[in-house]
Amino acid sequence: MDTFIFKSATYDESSQTILLGYSYENGPEFVEKIEFPDCRTDLNDQEKEALEKEIVQLHLAAGISYYKAYCPKNIRVDNHALTKEEADFFFKFYRHGLGEFSVENDIDLSGIIRFPVTSNYHLTPSKITLPKKAVVPIGGGKDSVVSLEVLVNANMPHQMIAINAGPPIKNAMKAGSENAAENAIHIRRTLDPALFALNDEGAMNGHVPITGILSFIMACGAILYGYDSVVMSNEGSASEGNMEFAGIEVNHQYSKSLEFELDFEKYIRKTTLSNFHYFSLLRPLNETGIAALFATLPHYFDVFKSCNRNFHIDEGVRQYGWCCDCPKCRFVFLALSPFIAKDRLNEIFGKNMLNDMSQEDGFRELCGLKGHKPFECVGEIEECQYILKTLTTTDRATDQLVKKLTPELDALGLDIKPMTIDELRATALNFKYEHNIPPHFLEHLNEFISARK
């Protein structure tokens, strides 16, 4: 398995399906399928050419799921002459996107990943006009519905979009608007089952930059469905790494970071779609600020789900609900604790996680009292510390883990003082991070926040 091959990338208009072909030389072959139901069937020649360009980029991005099985030094692209721009972008995408994978498998990929430059030409983007409409990817959790409500509140033209939507995502869509949910875009991505067979045979496995892959899919969707903006819901604290390994900062949320966001938008606009926009509407905030905004949207309380067991890539092992035994459940419970009444939050999760001593080590990691920041989509260590200290001023002060862990924070000598809930909310809703938000979207975000301070 010493050579990984990008074989083919085609679009079948009759089935509205992109097929991506990969293989290992003298080894297994794979075909990934991405379906775009109810998309346009009247593309003109310029739009077809733009789609072909974008499919090439999606092919290179999605290949990371198959490349990681053996991570060979040799990469071959049979269906496309690779430019230096492409080789540089995808080296970084694979290197940093597989950062957590590198830790899990104890492998330094810096001297292994090599995309071969086979063209001296520069890519030129299509200048097709995309309709002035935004799509909001819905993930089923608290963040994406906050972005959705910002656009609803501003009466901005938009559409919900989801890839491989299961019950949690569909329920969140319906909670926002039954009519809007019926008009949502639903794309389906199907990995080749042969990949799972390799995993069973001992191939390497681990985290991939799924948000990045889905972003390339949505760039294809911009042409097939007609929209010019993808409004993500990644917070500023997603840019914080977890640890250092093999000379790079490893960030579980690399493809949710501002660095990737800027790289991706610039790359798409430079190589395929010059009028494409990609940004996170919540980037100026940390998770605490987003939690404070979500707490003002009670019609989502019983349907939102952030536990990743709801979204397992293998549908057969998905578990819907809150497992209450993973970093994501622990963090979301902690982040919402200051802003949602104690009994109501306990009811949402089915238990009081801050009164469950079996979760002690997990909360220690979140608060920087043990190990490193968990490999999950969780907030910054410092904001977890501030939340925990603030809970000492509320009816959560008697919860066992609040009583046990806050004195340990004090013992670290940190200058973290407890705040009132109103002080925490006001502080969290101040913009803290650089962002890439277009001015008119930023104006609507400010209006939404001002109405809820």
DSSP one-letter string for 41-93 = S---HHHHHHHHHHHHHHHHHHTHHHHTTT--SEEEESSSPPPHHHHHHHHHH
Q: pLDDT digit of tens for each residue in the chain (453 aa)?
A: 899 999 999 999 999 999 999 999 999 999 999 999 999 999 999 999 999 999 999 999 999 999 999 999 999 999 999 999 999 999 999 999 999 999 999 999 998 999 999 999 989 999 999 999 999 999 999 999 999 999 999 999 999 999 999 999 999 999 988 888 899 999 999 999 999 999 888 899 999 999 999 999 999 999 999 999 999 999 998 998 889 998 999 999 999 999 999 999 999 999 999 999 999 999 999 999 999 999 999 999 999 998 977 555 555 555 678 999 999 999 999 999 999 999 999 999 999 999 999 999 999 999 999 988 888 889 999 999 999 999 999 999 999 999 999 999 988 888 888 999 999 999 999 998 999 999 999 999 999 999 987
- In 130-261, DSSP assigns E strands to 134-137, 158-163, 185-190, 229-232, 243-245, 248-250
Tokens 């650089």 label which residue? 434
| Residues counted in the chain | 453
Number of H helices and number of E strands within the chain?
A: 18, 11
What pLDDT sits at residue 448? 97
What pLDDT sits at residue 313? 58
What pTM does this model have?
A: 0.94
Structure tokens at 316: 């057969």
* Strand arrangement of the beta sheet that strand 17-24 belongs to: 74-77, 3-12, 17-24, 29-35, 185-190, 158-163, 134-137, 229-232, 277-280
Which helix H or strand E contains 101, and what residues bound it?
Answer: helix 99-105
Query: Which residues, other chains included, contact 237 with Cβ-Cβ below 8 Å and sequence gap of 6+?
Result: 286, 287, 379, 380, 383, 433
Listed as own residue / partner, the contacts of 354-360 with beta carbons closer than 8 Å and 24 or more positions apart are 354/391, 354/396, 354/399, 354/400, 354/401, 354/402, 355/399, 355/400, 355/401, 356/324, 356/400, 356/401, 357/400, 357/401, 358/325, 359/324, 359/325, 359/330, 359/401, 360/401, 360/404, 360/405
Q: At what angle do helices 287-294 and 327-336 cross, to 10 degrees?
A: 60
The burial of 200, by beta-carbon neighbours within 10 Å (0-12 exposed, 13-18 middle, 19 or more buried), is given as: exposed
What pLDDT sits at residue 374? 84
Pairing of strands 158-163, 243-245: unpaired
Gap between the Cα atoms of 391 and 396, Å rounded = 6
Structure tokens at 245: 């390994």
CA quadruple 330, 335, 338, 342: dihedral sign: negative
CB 410: neighbour CB atoms within 10 A? 10
- In 356-420, DSSP assigns E strands to none
